Amino acid sequence: MQERTLTAEVAPSDEVTIAGWVHEIRDLGGIAFLILRDRSGKIQVKFEKDEMDDEIVQTGLDVPRESVISITGVADEEPRAPTDVEIVPTAIEVVSSADTELPLDPSGKVSADLSTRLDNRTLDLRKNEVKAVFQIRSEILRATRNAFRELDCTEINTPKIVATGTEGGTELFPITYFGEEAFMNQSPQLFKQLMIGSGLERVFEIGPIFRAEEHNTPRHLNEATSIDFESAFIDHTEAMDACEYVVTAAYEGVAQNCIAELETLGLSDEFSVPDETFPRITYQEAIERINATGEVDEQLLWGDDLPTDGERALGADVGSHYFITDWPSAIKPFYIKDHDDDETLSTGFDMMHPQMELVSGGQREHRYEHLVDGFEQQGLDPEQFEYYTKMFRYGMPPHAGWGLGGERLVMTMLGLENIREAVIFPRDRQRLSP
């Protein structure tokens, strides 16, 4: 192929070769127009039937929509064209012809249900609104990485095939690993803690996690992206500070660098960066405020987990991102440290969007004996985690951290109705392909 020019870069009087997908064809009799789409936008191609080579006209008007074509021609100024420029072709090549009947309409003029869209994700992503979601997702990941580096973190990659689960074996996908049983990792938690003991001190990871939970809801996945942070020599309050910083940076990155995408999604006017300081509400206050709303069927008691309707009622009451702190020790994982002055309270916290939980974190138990006791109290065998626990005998500093659900961040930021819209190829109970 000749050197290609993106449609957004075409200027009047240029002789160019453009390539992309046939978005639309309009035949008006003596004149016809083809709209070509590439990653930068769309451009109009004009066919004057009586003044052009018949083969060029025939090829351009007979090609099925969504076919990939290459066009060479001269660009003319045309104020009535979508980009004020149109191309008069001197050559056209059908690079890859599409079927005349498509399983969904990439122009968006005919809607399709989510299942059909996910079955044909490649076509679905040709729609500007869908593509905008993943351009924004890409910016979120870029901005969070930059924020972690500004916090002096080292990026790590931990194993996704493990011998034991982070929190036991009830939510693990088993696999056969050279004749032995292994599992897909449900969290990088234990490995990132080991990195704190290595002397790296401050680390982050953005990677997949796997949970064999039999959910079938609009906000759960069985393969998700976890954005994780862990740091030595900080406590749970400083970990919350870091969480605020990273989440705010993600919003700021989107606000600054995704203006066109937000406009495509109709979010330009309502999109706002959250305040850097999120309210911090104790668990006790949270259940009292939820009970006061009257939105839960039964009054919550100390030690109850927060139901979905309770989270939403509290979120509506708070009206912004917020933290729930000082959870009962009994309902937080073994690796979460208790408060020094009250062992019934943990240093664990959740960071919430008004619609759902986004982050779980806390200060970690760094004392070997207390850590082993925590395993036993939660019915786990410490010997199965010996690779992890023994490192706490060799000098483990105090540390804290958290994990943030990447898809949930995208979902809540953009107001998506289903978390599957925030994943290119989602994995849930019913979907293993494509």
Annotated binding-site residue? 221: yes
51 is in an annotated binding site: no
- Residue 111: active-site member: no
Cβ pair 347, 336 in contact under 8 A: yes
Active site residue 357: yes
Contact call for residues 167 and 361 (beta carbons, < 8 A): no
* 187 appears as a binding residue in the annotation: no
Give the up-direction half-sphere exposure of residue 272: CA atoms within 13 A in the CB hemisphere.
7
- Helix, strand or coil, per DSSP, at residue 383: helix
Sorted by sequence, the CB contacts under 8 Å of residue 49 that are 6+ apart come out as: 30, 31, 32, 57
Q: What residue has token string 């088993």? A: 174
The SS3 of residue 354 is coil
Do 238 and 349 touch, CB atoms closer than 8 A? no
**Placement of tokens 């309270």 in the chain:** 345
421 a catalytic residue: no
Cβ 43 vs Cβ 84: under 8 Å: no
Query: Is-catalytic flag, 145?
Result: no
Structure-block tokens of residue 290: 């939820």
Between CA 418 and CA 425, with CA 420 as vertex, the angle to 5 degrees is 170
Q: Tell me the backbone φ, ψ of residue 418, rounded to 5 degrees.
A: -135, 135
Is 80 assigned a ligand-binding role in the annotation? no
Question: Bridge-partner residues for 250, per DSSP?
Answer: none
Residue 20 counted as an annotated binding residue: no
Instruction: Give the angle 117-118-122 at the CA atoms, nearest 5°.
Output: 80
Query: How many other C-beta atoms can be found within 10 angstroms of the C-beta atom of residue 110?
Result: 9
Ramachandran class of 213: left when φ > 0, alpha when ψ lies in -120 to 50, beta otherwise: beta
Which of the following is catalytic: 145, 408, 420, 421? Answer: 408
Is 145 a known ligand-binding residue?
no
Which of the residues 24, 78, 223, 357 is marked catalytic? 357
At 35, give phi and psi (nearest 5°). -100, 120
Residue 77: active-site member: no
Q: Which of 37, 65, 145, 211 is catalytic?
A: 211
375 closest CA partner among 390, 394, 395: 390
Length of the chain: 434
Helix (H) or strand (E) holding 292: helix 283-293
> Which residue in the list 219, 353, 366, 399 is annotated as catalytic?
219
Is 24 annotated as ligand-binding? no
142 is in an annotated binding site: no
State how far Cα 21 lies from the chain centre.
27
Is 139 assigned a catalytic role? no
| Whether residue 360 lies in the annotated active site | yes
Q: Which entry of 37, 145, 220, 312 is annotated as an active-site residue?
A: 220
- Is residue 65 annotated as involved in ligand binding? no
Does the annotation place 407 within a ligand binding site? Answer: yes
Residue 408 assigned as binding residue: yes
Q: Give the separation between CA 220 and CA 181, rounded to whole angstroms.
A: 26
Confirm whether residue 219 is marked as ligand binding. yes
Binding residues for Mg(2+): 357, 360
Any idea which residues carry the catalytic annotation?
211, 213, 219-220, 357, 360, 408
Binding residues for L-aspartate: 167, 211, 360, 364
Binding residues for ATP: 211-213, 219-221, 357, 405-408
Binding residues: 167, 211-213, 219-221, 357, 360, 364, 405-408
